[in-house]
Structure 1
Amino acid sequence: MKGLLLAIQFLTRLPTPRVTASETDFAASIRWFPMVGLLIGALVAGAGWLARSDAWLGALAALAVWTGVTGALHLDGLADLADARGAAHGDRARLLAVLADPHVGSFGVVALALQIVAKLVLLHALVAAGMWGPLVLIPFAARIGPLAWTRWLPPLHAGLASRFRAAVRGVDILVWAAVLAGAGFVWPAILVTPVLLAGWAVYLRRAVGGVSGDGHGAGIELVETALLVAALL
């Protein structure tokens, strides 16, 4: 239970009891990321459902909760990675330097705008169609990503991703893969998730050379958007 509380504290802005934890405890909390995704998904779907009388209002409510409950944590990673890739021009040292820069540049701003607009439009379509199940499951599926990427990719530097690396066990991925497979009976399109996760891992290895906290955050955002598209196809 401590791991779940730590995961909720890290991935969301939801109030939780204070927990005393070691570095090892914090790293092990990654095993609970998909469960936190289910919680986020339930809140997002609930917001959309409550405001469903108007599809755009429902979409805006769902997006506001999605962004607010996560504190825009993953959007920050998307912006940082977009800035780094846009400014690097093939220079790895510059890429790493821009990733470490807390400021947001023009590439990051454009990436954020496109991501927010894309989610709003896709949420509108799902709210209009009354597709609440996918809204619950999408944040869950996307948060399996950090477990897989941590196992598959080398850490880009000594930071968040490197701390998680030793904590992810093969059995953790197998358990969540089994849950994902079970979710496929409710919403078959969710079974495209492993392809999306693998695709992002290949991209990070070729374009960046490894994974960092920003790579995890950007991947979660992009996988969520891709799954919103899959829900409509």
Structure 2
Amino acid sequence: MKGLLIALQFMTRLPGPRLTVSDAEFSASMRWFPAVGGVIGAIVAGASWLGAHVDPWTGALAGLVVWVGVTGALHLDGLADIADAAGAAHKGPGRVREVLADPHLGSFGTSALVLQALAKLVLLHALIVQGVWLPLIAVPFAARIAPLVWTRTMTPLHAGLGARFAGVIRPVDLALWGLILLGAAWFAPGLLATVPAIALWRRWILRRIGGISGDGMGAGIELVESLLLLALSIGAIGALR
């Protein structure tokens, strides 16, 4: 359970006990990322449900604000960095690394943040209108299976966060979380979109950036979450018909 607590403290701003953590324990905590996603999903769904008592847009806004707040905008930061790096990718790998190391926000990153916030707001509203609550909990869970796959199957871009996680994910970890995802998808088939979303981001990041990093994982989590919100919304419309 220490691994879960470490992962919670890394991926969220939730209060927790003070822990002494070795490098090996921090790296191994990645195996708990999907469980942390489940916690985040429950909090987001709860905030959306409470806000929806006012109206659906208030529910969507409450869910989005809590989503950003509980994660500390950790993955949004990665999305902005990757967007800026992608805009400079035509200048070569060296320039990509320079942009990723630059703490300043560029026009590509700003645009990505605005579009991502709008996408989540609109899609949360769509799910609230359709009364989709339980599957919403599974969205952050499913999206955090993705970095386990990427770190298992991709070469680290540089000696950063992605490299620290390299080699810690075992086949049994992927099998366990994959089975849980399949179980959740039995009730919400839209969650199966996780698989192509993971594969598409892996293909894009390899071709455009050249390897996986902490920023690449964070950006991918954000985009997988949005795609899953869209898939669940489409699935709910189909079920109503």
Output the CA distance in 2 between the equivalents of 1:136 and 1:158.
33
Sequence identity, in percent?
60
Identify which range, 115-124 or 85-94, moves more after superposition: 85-94
**C-alpha displacement of 1:59:** 0.2
Q: Which runs of 4+ in 1 moved over 3 A?
A: none
What is aligned with 2:168?
A: 167
| 2:157–2:213 contact (8 Å) kept in structure 1 | yes
**C-alpha displacement of 1:3:** 0.3
Q: Amino acid of the residue matched to residue 211 of structure 1?
A: I
**C-alpha displacement of 1:87:** 2.4
**C-alpha displacement of 1:134:** 2.0
What is aligned with 1:5?
A: 5
Any residues of structure 2 matched to 1:38-117 within 5 Å, and which?
38-53=38-53, 54-117=55-118
**C-alpha displacement of 1:126:** 0.8
**C-alpha displacement of 1:7:** 0.2
Any residues of structure 2 matched to 1:141-180 within 5 Å, and which?
141-180=142-181
Q: Amino acid of the residue matched to residue 109 of structure 1?
A: T
What is aligned with 2:239?
A: none
RMSD of the TM alignment (CA)?
A: 0.8
Q: Amino acid of the residue matched to residue 198 of structure 1?
A: A
What is aligned with 1:26?
A: 26
What stretches of structure 1 of length at least 5 have no aligned partner? none
**C-alpha displacement of 1:89:** 2.2
Output the CA distance in 1 between the equivalents of 2:91 and 2:132.
42
Output the CA distance in 2 between the equivalents of 1:92 and 1:27.
26
Output the CA distance in 2 between the equivalents of 1:97 and 1:55.
42
What stretches of structure 2 of length at least 5 have no aligned partner? 235-241
**C-alpha displacement of 1:92:** 1.3
What is aligned with 2:238?
A: none
Output the CA distance in 1 between the equivalents of 2:80 and 2:217.
12
TM-score under structure 2 normalisation? 0.95
| 2:79–2:112 contact (8 Å) kept in structure 1 | yes
